[in-house]
Amino acid sequence: MAEIKNCAIFYVSDGTAITAETVGRSLITQFTGINFIEKRLAFINNVETAQAAADLIKNTPSDYQRLVINTVVDIELRKIIHSAGGLKLDPFNRLLRRIEKNLGVKSDPGVGRTHGMLDSTSYNARIEATNFALSHDDGVNLNLQKADLILLGVSRSGKTPTCLYLALHYGLKAANYPITDEDLERMKLPDDVMMHKQKLFGLTIDPFRLSQIRSERRPNSRYAALKKCQMEVSDAEVIYHRNQIPFLNTTLTSIEEISGKIMIALDLNKRLY
Amino acid sequence: MAEIKNCAIFYVSDGTAITAETVGRSLITQFTGINFIEKRLAFINNVETAQAAADLIKNTPSDYQRLVINTVVDIELRKIIHSAGGLKLDPFNRLLRRIEKNLGVKSDPGVGRTHGMLDSTSYNARIEATNFALSHDDGVNLNLQKADLILLGVSRSGKTPTCLYLALHYGLKAANYPITDEDLERMKLPDDVMMHKQKLFGLTIDPFRLSQIRSERRPNSRYAALKKCQMEVSDAEVIYHRNQIPFLNTTLTSIEEISGKIMIALDLNKRLY
């Protein structure tokens, strides 16, 4: 059997390094059998921080290969970082040149760095949406008229983190309605909720996983009992089916993916800021 | 004066398209004087959806240049999308080939697509951290022992969205302590908070902006009065200075950037999942 290879990947940026990290992670997930360690080196924007970053890269244990995703714009700082060795990967340079040629316009690297500041309208929308999600969590104080979407699901099926993600990332006002025992008994949702049918999206979850999550919260409770979880989940799914409410199983799905699918199902992509 | 150019940029992916979007947005922010419209085409994973995506790209108004960031892996589907025309940009292909060569290992594109599922440990950490942030919001029910960090700030200075972002993205347990009128009068923080000094990070904000935010919440209140906001902000900053608590002005800073800077200041980057 082949030896497991070790690889250190560095995300280097003069900003938050989130973009470099997103690209790098997307690349390394396509390799199996490699032991990757990741290190984010953010706000590398002067000679001192660049030198410190270079030293850190240089001091990687010798049995590690080194990959350096470098999105630093300043040429002098880039040189300092590259002096540390490792495979240099720049995800943007070549794409930028091609876009410049296609559009017949020169890019201005300085602009990108202040993006966070220019974007204050969408920033405020995101904060406002986050406050909306917090004040419309778990059925409290519902003002569904203003909501862009309403997530349904039994307790602990993943509604809250999904609402918060949609708010923080896309400025979407996501309310959430926890399906109650009473709803399940009547096998229908309240009229106040059903009147917003086009905004509804259901979450479901594997009952075993649900029971596990609820047990962490209230061990040995009726609430966490597998039998109870099985019934709740199955009844909620019947309600979704009967009312043609689109729904998704969250058990093995990341928040990013759930959010993406909800935005497609409810045609909310147009709200992209 | 030159005419403003129009450009439609498409983020096409067999997954959520978040990576394609992150890359694309980073590229287009480096161009000024271009009117960009963006469209995310996610979950393009069969012939029907690929054809629909191609049709949509083809039907772009003729006065728009078209850029297509395509991260779809399947070769047949890629061809369908490329048949629509526009400048084809693949941020990964070339980087992948270089990494393969460097590591002496072939990549397996199928692996990346199931990343969301493989990552359930970090997923659970993120959910747990989100619940922690929600239950430790605005000083309620504080269990600071378990917190990775504690954000300080006067009411509406941006603590909650930042805590949620750190939790959802990095699985960090972020508590938040709102500085009270009483603290400001005594010009010191409670001992319960100060005993975790190495976890503390302060937020501050422009008083004019703060007054505006508070006015939306409680118009014409003492709480929202500019004078009151000015005093609170200035006193809070004195407290940070006196206690050598690192702090940041959130007025013109994005949540991503605030989060990145906090992680550096408190040396939390090592917790990267």
Question: pLDDT tens across A177-202, in order?
Answer: 999 999 999 999 999 999 999 999 99
At A55 the pLDDT is 94
Which residue would you say has higher pLDDT here, B139 or A223? A223
Residues 142-181 of A with CB under 8 A from B: 158, 160-161, 164-165, 168
Chain A contacts of B26, Cβ < 8 Å? 19, 71, 92, 112
Least confident of B44-53, B180-189, B250-259, B264-273: B264-273
- Does the pLDDT at position B113 exceed 60? no
Q: At what angle do helices A255-265 and A159-170 cross, to 10 degrees?
A: 70
In angstroms, the separation between the Cα of residue B239 and the nearest Cα of chain A is: 26
- Does the pLDDT at position B1 exceed 80? no
Backbone angles phi, psi at B151, to 5 degrees: -90, 135
Question: What does the alpha-carbon distance between residue A177 and residue A166 come to, in Å, rounded to a whole number?
Answer: 15
- Does the pLDDT at position B100 exceed 60? yes
Q: Are A12 and A21 in contact (CB under 8 A)?
A: no
pLDDT bin (cut points 50, 70, 90) of residue B125 is: confident
Residues 36-55 of A with CB under 8 A from B: 38-40, 42-43
Nearest CA in chain A to B254: A116
pLDDT bin (cut points 50, 70, 90) of residue B118 is: very low
Q: What is the 8-class DSSP label of residue B46? A: S
At B127 the pLDDT is 82
Chain B contacts of A117, Cβ < 8 Å? 252-254
Tokens of A98: 């091609």
- B205-233 pLDDT per residue, tens: 999 999 998 998 899 999 999 999 999 99
At B273 the pLDDT is 34
Contact A31 B103 (CB under 8 A): yes
Least confident of A6-20, A64-78, A136-150, B112-126: B112-126
Note whether A18 contacts B: Cβ–Cβ < 8 A: yes
Which residues of B does the annotation place in the binding site for ADP?
153-160
- Start and end residues for every CATH 3.40.50.300 domain found in chain A: 120-271
Contact B23 A27 (CB under 8 A): no
Contact B99 A108 (CB under 8 A): no
Cα–Cα nearest to A128, from B205, B213, B155, B18: B213
- Does the pLDDT at position B115 exceed 50? no
- B151-189 pLDDT per residue, tens: 999 999 999 999 999 998 888 999 999 999 999 999 999
At B272 the pLDDT is 42
Cα–Cα nearest to A265, from A130, A149, A167, A170: A149
Note whether A95 contacts B: Cβ–Cβ < 8 A: yes
- Does the pLDDT at position A117 exceed 70? no
Superfamily the domain A120-271 falls into: P-loop containing nucleotide triphosphate hydrolases (3.40.50.300)
One-letter amino acid for residue B86 of the chain: G
Least confident of A43-47, A89-93, B235-239: A89-93
pLDDT bin (cut points 50, 70, 90) of residue B12 is: very high
Q: Are B211 and B229 in contact (CB under 8 A)?
A: yes
Chain B contacts of A104, Cβ < 8 Å? 5
CATH architecture of the domain covering B5-115: 3-Layer(aba) Sandwich (3.40)
Q: What is chain A's mean pLDDT, rounded?
A: 87
Q: If residue B216 lies in a helix (H) or strand (E), which one and from where to where?
A: helix B207-217
Strand partners, B178: B153
Note whether A85 contacts B: Cβ–Cβ < 8 A: no
Mean pLDDT over B81-102 rounds to: 90
Note whether B261 contacts A: Cβ–Cβ < 8 A: yes
pLDDT bin (cut points 50, 70, 90) of residue A236 is: very high
At B139 the pLDDT is 63
Question: What does the alpha-carbon distance between residue A192 and residue A169 come to, in Å, rounded to a whole number?
Answer: 28
In angstroms, the separation between the Cα of residue A205 and the nearest Cα of chain B is: 14
- Does the pLDDT at position A224 exceed 80? yes
